[in-house]
Structure 1
Amino acid sequence: MATLYHGKMAAIYDAMYQTFVDYDEEYEFYNSFIQEHNCKSILEIGSGTGNLAKRFKEHHQDYTGLDYSESMIAIARERNNNVTFIQGDMRDFNLEKQVDAIIITGRSTSYLTTNEDINETLASLFNNISDEGIIAFDFIDANRFIPYINKNQKIIHQAQHEGINYTRESHWETTTADNFMVDWTAKYYTNLNGKKDLIADDFSTVRVFTLNEIQLFLYINNFEIIKTVDRKTYAYDTYVIVAQKKKS
């Protein structure tokens, strides 16, 4: 798994995504599944800088956040007093007590680049979810995303936060790896008084999936899908899967 969003990248990510993502809507979306299945305790994987954590706390829900990046968690803890955040790896974690809902947000599944990564993650979810609990996660749809990036060699996102204008220029390139893999190069700029300054650059290799792949991974790891949502996002359409442990 890539080492993501450490140091200043965590703060830059946080600033830009305040504009990209409607976190109130994001909370309502995931909370609808949580309420539908009467889940009392929630783990968010990919909790980042704590934007959803803030909403769960405001609604007095039993919430825990888990993220791979210590820098992201540091921001989240500053933002959310009396909320538990764990620095950890979704492929291998053990909670003190099983929870009723585990959500993986922000397309964090993209960083599970091998089949072993995915199977280990699903095994961890299975072990840490209650028998009647749910898992919910999004993923990048290969059938839509690969044609999109082939037509759009450079993708530009702009955001404004606390009076600062940010630009992110992304370049995506499919690789010849065994799975559906994409190399992502991004440059981040500030724009002040017409002057564009490079403040950071980043590189990641991510995995995109077909819906059928995800269905099969869940099946062989003893989950059954109870809902598939075709969802629009700020960048491109994706799928969100809601699943439970198979009934014996």
Structure 2
Amino acid sequence: MANLYDGKMAAIYDAMYQTFVDYDEEYAFYNNLIQENNGSSILEIGSGTGNLAKRFAKNNQNYQGLDYSDDMITIARERNPNSSFTQGDMRDFKLNTLFDAILITGRSTSYLITNDDINRTFDSLYKNLNDNGIIIFDFIDANRFIPFTKENPLIVHEAVYENVNYRRESHWNTNTALENFMLEWSANYFTVINDKKELLEKDFSTVRVFTLNEIELFLYLSNFEIIKTIDRKTYAYDTYVIIARKKV
């Protein structure tokens, strides 16, 4: 798991993503899919610092969040004192209630490195869903993103939040020594003052990208039926969003 989500990086992540992501638009996108499928109870995996939780709570929806990082959950609870958050691993969790809809947001599927990670995650989702419940998740499309990283060895993102200028410089390297489609991601985070960069933190992760065919097969083997596939561009990645129903 990336260092990004622990310690002081949780707060830096939160600040930068306030400008990377339009959370009102993100909420509307996911909520429309939930309502199309008559979902009333919602679990968000990768709930992070609670930006989507804030929108669900504002609309009095039955929402819970689950995240791997205690530091992210601490910020989420401060932001959403009336919402429920649990520290947990999407590969192996069991909550006290079943859900109509489970979301995996923010391309968190990228951290499911092995086939076993994927299968365990889908098994956990299945066990925590009501009959005919749905899962909604996104993933980075290998067919488009790997060529993009080859053509753009340095990727820069800049953001301004609460009068602080942030800059992230990312490097992506394809790791052909590993199984599956793996990328090694390294990033330096800076504040920028008077055009001078001051290093805040460094981060490194091994992440996985997928082809659509791979995901379709994993879902089939895990007893899910795909009901909708959406080709969606997010702030930095070409992704697919999958909506799949639990088969009973």
The two structures have a TM-score, normalised by structure 1, of 0.98
Alpha-carbon distance between aligned partners in 1 of 2:18 and 2:189, rounded to the nearest angstrom: 15
Matches within 5 A, 1:137-216: 137-176=137-176, 177-216=178-217
Say if 1:166 and 1:188, in contact at 8 Å, map to a contact too: yes
SS in 1 for 2:39: coil
Q: Letter of the 2:182 partner, please give it.
A: M
SS in 1 for 2:130: strand
> Percent identical across equivalent pairs?
70
Are 2:220 and 1:219 equivalent residues in the alignment? yes
**What is the RMSD computed on CA atoms of the aligned residues?**
0.9
Alpha-carbon distance between aligned partners in 2 of 1:22 and 1:46, rounded to the nearest angstrom: 17
Alpha-carbon distance between aligned partners in 1 of 2:118 and 2:76, rounded to the nearest angstrom: 26
Alpha-carbon distance between aligned partners in 2 of 1:112 and 1:57, rounded to the nearest angstrom: 29
Say if 2:4 and 2:13, in contact at 8 Å, map to a contact too: no
- Aligned partner of 2:239 in structure 1 is 238
CA apart distance, 1:133: 1.2
Q: Summarize deviations over 1:190-225 as a string: whole Å, max 9, x none.
A: 011222100101000000000000000000000010
CA apart distance, 1:95: 1.1
Q: Letter of the 1:37 partner, please give it.
A: N
Q: Summarize deviations over 1:52-107 as a string: whole Å, max 9, x none.
A: 00000000000000000000000000000110000000000001010000000000
Say if 2:23 and 2:52, in contact at 8 Å, map to a contact too: yes
- Aligned partner of 1:38 in structure 2 is 38
Q: Letter of the 1:126 partner, please give it.
A: Y
- Aligned partner of 2:96 in structure 1 is 96
Say if 1:42 and 1:63, in contact at 8 Å, map to a contact too: yes
Alpha-carbon distance between aligned partners in 1 of 2:195 and 2:170, rounded to the nearest angstrom: 21
Q: Letter of the 1:63 partner, please give it.
A: Y
Say if 2:100 and 2:134, in contact at 8 Å, map to a contact too: yes
Q: 1:131 to 1:3 in 2, by over 3 A?
A: farther
Say if 2:139 and 2:240, in contact at 8 Å, map to a contact too: yes
CA apart distance, 1:246: 2.1
Q: Summarize deviations over 1:89-140 as a string: whole Å, max 9, x none.
A: 0000001010000000000000000000000000000000111211000001
- Aligned partner of 1:10 in structure 2 is 10
Say if 1:4 and 1:69, in contact at 8 Å, map to a contact too: no
Q: Letter of the 2:73 partner, please give it.
A: I
Say if 2:168 and 2:189, in contact at 8 Å, map to a contact too: yes
CA apart distance, 1:2: 4.8
Alpha-carbon distance between aligned partners in 1 of 2:184 and 2:76, rounded to the nearest angstrom: 28
Instruction: List, as ranges, runs of 4+ consecutive aligned residues in structure 1 with deviation greater than 6 Å.
Output: none
Alpha-carbon distance between aligned partners in 2 of 1:224 and 1:136, rounded to the nearest angstrom: 12
Say if 2:2 and 2:204, in contact at 8 Å, map to a contact too: no
CA apart distance, 1:4: 4.6
SS in 1 for 2:235: coil
Q: What 5-or-longer segments of structure 1 have no aligned partner?
A: none
Say if 2:91 and 2:121, in contact at 8 Å, map to a contact too: yes
Q: 1:89 to 1:4 in 2, by over 3 A?
A: farther
SS in 1 for 2:5: coil
Q: Letter of the 1:183 partner, please give it.
A: E
Q: Letter of the 1:165 partner, please give it.
A: N
Alpha-carbon distance between aligned partners in 1 of 2:163 and 2:150, rounded to the nearest angstrom: 34
